């Protein structure tokens, strides 16, 4: 599995920025995407990941996504 370019965690919610290369008529072009997930412990105490968010997770998920967006926009302006 590819490693993310950037991980932004807010509590148990993490937004990960990935860069994928796609082939176009002009050559390879980087396309960035964001994966959002939360981490929790199951009944056995093992850490698991989920893409389902409870009402208390939503503010943390929003903040993680906002920070990921900010990272992408600022990085693009810096490039």
* DSSP line for 32-64: EEEEEEEEEE-TTS-EEEES---TTTHHHHHHH
* Domain boundaries along the sequence of the chain: 6-78
30 in Cβ contact with 23 (< 8 Å):
no
pLDDT band (50, 70, 90) for residue 63:
very high
11-52: per-residue pLDDT in tens? 999 999 999 999 999 999 999 999 999 999 999 999 999 999
Q: What was the pLDDT predicted at 1?
A: 63
Q: What was the pLDDT predicted at 73?
A: 93
Q: What was the pLDDT predicted at 33?
A: 95
């Amino acid at each position: 599995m590819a490693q993310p370019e950037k991980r932004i965690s807010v509590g148990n919610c993490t937004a990960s920025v990935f860069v994928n290369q796609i082939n176009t008529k002009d050559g390879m072009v980087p396309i960035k995407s964001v994966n959002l997930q939360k981490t929790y412990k199951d009944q056995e105490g093992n850490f698991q990941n989920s893409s389902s968010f409870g009402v208390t997770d939503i503010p943390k998920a929003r903040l993680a996504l906002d920070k990921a967006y900010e990272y992408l926009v600022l990085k693009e302006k810096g490039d």
